[in-house]
Structure formats: C-alpha cells, structure tokens
Amino acid sequence: MHRLLTQLATLHTLVSAQPVTPTNPFCGYYSERNTVSLNLTCVNGVIDGVTSAFFGTPSGCPSPSANPSCDVANYLAYAQSTCVGQQSCQLTSQDGDPCPGVVKAIAAVAHCSEGPGGWSPPSPPQPPPNPTCAKNGVPCPPPTWAPTWNLTKSTVIQPSSDYYFTPKHPWGMISLDWSVANKIWYLGNTSNTTCEATSNTGCSMLKAAGLADRCFIYHNMELALEWLESQRKVMYDQQYQDYFLRYTDGQGNKIGKIYNEVSSHSRNMGKTR
C-alpha cells in the first residue's frame, strides 16, 4: 500500500492536468488552439507500447479514434518512435495543419512496463528572467526615489541650446548631451576633454536649483568613445589594449591610436561621417 501511495504521489507531481486515476494502459487527450503537445509519463519503468495515437480532431478517451476529415496519417508510427522505451515523452503536432482554422487535439493510448502511467498538457510558458544589473546576475535594486503623482517628475528633456545647464522649467530628468557643450569640454584634443567632470558639476547645479531630480550623460557610443574621462582611462590601459580596435601602420602593426571619429565630429557639430 505504501508503495502504491508513493507512486500516486509521484504521478500527481508529474501530471499537471486535472487529477486522473493512474491506469495501465492509460489514455491521454489534449486540445489547444495553437501548437498542440501532450506529455505521456510512466511512474516507474518505461513506455513499452503505444497502441493508438492521433493528431487532428480525434474523439476522446478512453478509446480515441480518428476523424477522417481532419487527421494526420502515420501519426501512430511517430508516437511509437518517440515514446517507446522512454519513461516520459512529448507528442507534438506533426506534418503541418490537416484542417486549417479548426482547434486541434492529440489523443494517445500507451502502456507502461511497470505501470501505472498518466498524461499532462504542455508546461505553461515561463516568464522571462528578471533583468540583472551586473554580470554576476545580481538583481536590479529597486528605485531609491519615492513614487509621486507630480507629472513634472515624470518628464525628460535634452536641451540643445545655451540653456544647457539652466533649463527654464523643472524636469524629472535632464539628459546632458555630450555634443551640445562641446565648446566647454573640448580643449584641443580628446585627451583633454572634461565631459564627465563638467556634466557631474552641471547635474549638481541643476539639482541644487530645484530644476532636476535626476540627470544623466547622453553618450554616443561610436562618435564619442573618448569623451568620458573614466572611460578614456580604461581605453588606454595596456591590460585592456585588445578590447578596442586600433589603427595599424598598414603592415599589421598597431600604432596605439584607437578608432574614434570624435575629432572630426567636433569640427562638424551635428554631422556624422
């Protein structure tokens, strides 16, 4: 009795459909508007026989039969080759759609070598994994700001004028566009840019003036490779030299200069090459 109760508990775990009485042989039936699949499972042993199997619009258990107007030929042979010898198997729709526009079903009768057995519908789709904020899979932390019904705090602006650091009205977030303040940051060459420091100072000024809750630096990843000081420090660190594409002397020898269009872009603001 204890062994039978254990088998029934195991089958209940494996079979996620409505509770069924484990039998041997057993019959499974499932219909679905989309792609159809049906899982057959033995509590012990393996499936040692599939005596009938249909895909289309078959009649149901315990003795399914095909509907000649909507039935895939040779489905039994497919079910036998898929399931016999396996403790668990999944039958799916095969050979296209025998009758378009009609809800399809799979029906099958199988036998377990040590019985009993049962069936279950396909597992429900799993939700996508939570987004991560680090390579080691640490979950993203929750926002640190409190919810509010103030719509001003839900707005974003990216100034493109002399009012770069002093917008006229409060905003929830301000995007500090690296190209707008080029005349402030660009001091002759990319190694002298103060984009990061200037933007951090500007953000502090905006917050202190009550004109922004949050701000960030909009950074073009192709035309502004070297504008952020912290990024530039990594780019020219020798231990990371192979992380970035470098120019060569035409003979395959790297000359140290990293591919970057920022110099030409600074002379032609608003244009790209």
Which of 31-35, 55-59, 157-161 is the most confident on average? 55-59
Which pLDDT score, from 0 to 100, does residue 189 have?
67
Which pLDDT score, from 0 to 100, does residue 21 have?
59
pTM: 0.42
Residues 6+ apart with CB under 8 A from 98: 55, 56, 70, 71, 72, 104
Range(s) for CATH 2.60.120.740 in the chain?
12-120
Averaged pLDDT, 200-227: 77
* Structural fold of domain 12-120: Jelly Rolls (2.60.120)
Give the whole-number percent of the chain exceeding pLDDT 90.
20
pLDDT band at 50 (very low <50, low <70, confident <90, very high): very high
Evaluate if residue 133 carries a pLDDT over 70. Answer: no
Q: 145-149, 165-169, 239-243, 252-256: which range is least confident on average? A: 145-149
pLDDT band at 17 (very low <50, low <70, confident <90, very high): very low
Which pLDDT score, from 0 to 100, does residue 125 have?
66
- Which is more confidently placed, 130 or 202? 202
Evaluate if residue 144 carries a pLDDT over 90. Answer: no
Evaluate if residue 18 carries a pLDDT over 50. Answer: no
Averaged pLDDT, 229-257: 79
State which amino acid sits at residue 74.
Answer: N
Which pLDDT score, from 0 to 100, does residue 111 have?
94
Averaged pLDDT, 96-108: 86
The average confidence (pLDDT) of the chain is 76
Separation of first and last alpha carbons in the chain: 79
